[in-house]
Amino acid sequence: MRPEQPDQTNGHDGTPLPRAQVLRPRGPAPMTRAVRAALVAVGVALVAVFAAAAAIRPYDDDGNPRRMSTHTQLGLPPCNFVVMFDKPCPSCGMTTSFAFLVRGDVSNSLRANWVGTTICVIWAGALVWALASAARGRLLLIPPKRGAGEVIFTLLTGLVVVLMLARWGALMLWG
């Protein structure tokens, strides 16, 4: 006895049924050279930021930790906001914070500008991520859903801006 062959017609007019197509999920498109180059450029820029932070002396001549104005060691002018209003701007102390954190001095980094400490940690992660993604040829830790990377970047940027302004507001109110 032979097994029955499945009927390949629709049974009405004798025409064959269309073959079902199997849709297979596609992985992310291969990364272009331009995207890889951009990721490497981001990595190089962040290495330069951390090298500059390492070159800055966040301690005064007596070994006391500074709180701000270390950016002037890079040849930059004093903060215009401080000069004009004698109050710190939202980013005052960030360079100093970076300089402390690259030396492992977390407590002084937080005292100089805790948002700067947060940004420094985020940028250290971004440095590793950018270079690893470029090396692997795909964006690591980013869901393949279209636009997910932009959403993540926008949320992180928004969070940092809100934290900067909240810290600044607290400094303006309570000194």
Q: pLDDT tens digits for 87-114?
A: 999 999 999 999 999 999 999 999 999 9
Q: Phi and psi (nearest 5°) for 26?
A: -100, 140
Split at pLDDT 50, 70, 90, the class of 122 is very high
Region 150-156: what's the mean pLDDT? Answer: 91
Strands (E) across the chain are located at: none
Neighbours of 99 (CB within 10 A): 29
Split at pLDDT 50, 70, 90, the class of 146 is confident
Q: Which two tokens stand for residue 67?
A: 């709180």
> For position 148, what pLDDT does the model report?
84
- Give the global pTM: 0.78
Who's near 50: CB < 8 A, 6+ residues apart? 98, 102, 123, 124, 127
Nearest CA to 127 among 44, 62, 63, 52?
44
Nearest CA to 37 among 122, 135, 153?
135
